[in-house]
Structure 1
């Protein structure tokens, strides 16, 4: 059967009536009369040569054919609506799926996103946060912002900025920290990268203590634990400027260690779209300005 023989209004009438199981409610949704919906559905049934509804004394029930047609029609109209919604200002907005480390999103990206939207209104940004473990292909991402050394198999990486790690803690704990050696008496909060504290102590010219205690897979969670006085976290201070300014966190020592940087990555096999290029150029320019 040719699609040209299927009237759009009849398909819309069927989809609404099938969801509502009522010609009356479908008519209210479509802003037409109950009789118009019934007429459109009957015309569709005649074209298809099968009944789509069983007319009951108190409503409607879908036939087997109607049950098969409903999800197809609902998906089709949803996709049409989604595409039409992307038209704005005489041009089609492009979807950009971005995965990013949650620490970077809250500490650096979010305060700048309004500027990106103003500069590139055609980009429909979809943002997913993670804890630095991301699968670009498996998660259907166009781009991902990661923390590390920039070497990920099959990806192209552009350096965004450095984020040295430094001890952060509550102001109450900071009051009793006079020199780095005082940390030996404190609970040291750890990430799953177990070499971080030993390398920081080496920078401070101290041997690292035997570190036991909480292990976190997110700097955001570790920072909140530090705010609540559970210990001292080794964190990218640049990403927690707001908490430092508000006095929720304190930085007792200047010593810091660089174990990685933030990178914008994409699969080498993924062609760069206009939206991807716009975000990359904007992001790197913002980072260059500090």
Structure 2
């Protein structure tokens, strides 16, 4: 079967319209009229012999065929853009886009990135921080450093380091905490992972109390709230060494519970580029140097 010759402008018109859910907003991005975008998408549909959008009174909705085509085009345009950007100003540079959960970015990666820059000046690193919920494909990521159990559909995951959790709070609040059971009378600040406090209390040999208190989508904001005396946060303690050294927060009990680890992930369909391989090898060496026992598993018990 012959593959139809598809005009690039029509493919771009479809991809932009799908992202925006609107021919008008796609036209603004592509600097053409809404009518031109609509005609290009219509021509593409006629060439393919399918309907890509349902035209609704207040926008566009992708059909099944549109859903199948969109991720392919998104990835293709991202790769073209990344390759072309390597030739900016007459210099060839390898572009690498890495998504990083904010806690790991601030607590571990950023203090070491200058070393990577000095050792690999040809890699143009583009860092995107998030709260652990990101779409590797749609966000155009080569790698995504995230927290969890390593089981993400369609993803290869390399373990980086365990991230045991422990409570932290403002120094003044810690003065009234004498044993883990005292936490049941305090405001326990929560993340969107609802079972973490229960796991920690069981590790401490205590029946978990009913949870109350505020909820946050990032350990960074959890720690800031705890430092201001709002309550007690349960966070990956190794990511907040600087804040503890500055006495903004303290660790009232040396009990840790493992609920997940940090992983370097990429789509299985993503072929590793030289820049990706360079970053992966540097990152694993840096982690091994900083945490020789990072591959070990923490036991859910008290560390006295």
**Shared fold (TM-score, shorter chain, > 0.5):** yes
**Alignment partner, residue 280 of structure 1:** 280
**Alignment partner, residue 198 of structure 2:** 198
Distance 2:209 2:83 in 1: 61
The alignment status of 1:236 with 2:236, answered yes or no, reads yes
With normalisation by structure 2, the TM-score equals: 0.67
Runs of 4+ in 1 over 6 A off after TM superposition: 78-81
Q: How does 1:124-203 map onto structure 2 within 5 Å?
A: 124-203=124-203
Change (3 A) 1:86 1:161: farther
Q: How does 1:243-282 map onto structure 2 within 5 Å?
A: 243-282=243-282
1:262 partner SS: strand
- Matched-pair contact (CA < 8 Å) for 2:203–2:255: yes
- Matched-pair contact (CA < 8 Å) for 1:100–1:144: yes
1:215 partner SS: coil
By how many angstroms is 1:185 displaced? 1.3
Q: How does 1:34-183 map onto structure 2 within 5 Å?
A: 82-85=85-88, 88=91, 92-183=92-183
- Per-residue deviation, residues 45-101 of structure 1 (Å, max 9, x unmatched): xxxxxxxxxxxxxxxxxxxxxx97xxxxxxxxx99995443655xxx2111011010
2:252 partner SS: coil
Change (3 A) 1:148 1:239: same
1:128 partner SS: strand
- Matched-pair contact (CA < 8 Å) for 2:86–2:95: no
2:132 partner SS: coil
1:136 partner SS: coil
Distance 1:86 1:281 in 2: 28
Change (3 A) 1:141 1:80: closer
- Per-residue deviation, residues 119-138 of structure 1 (Å, max 9, x unmatched): 11111000000100011111
With normalisation by structure 1, the TM-score equals: 0.70
RMSD: 1.9
Distance 2:83 2:162 in 1: 43
Distance 1:201 1:80 in 2: 50
**Alignment partner, residue 72 of structure 1:** none
**Alignment partner, residue 219 of structure 1:** 219
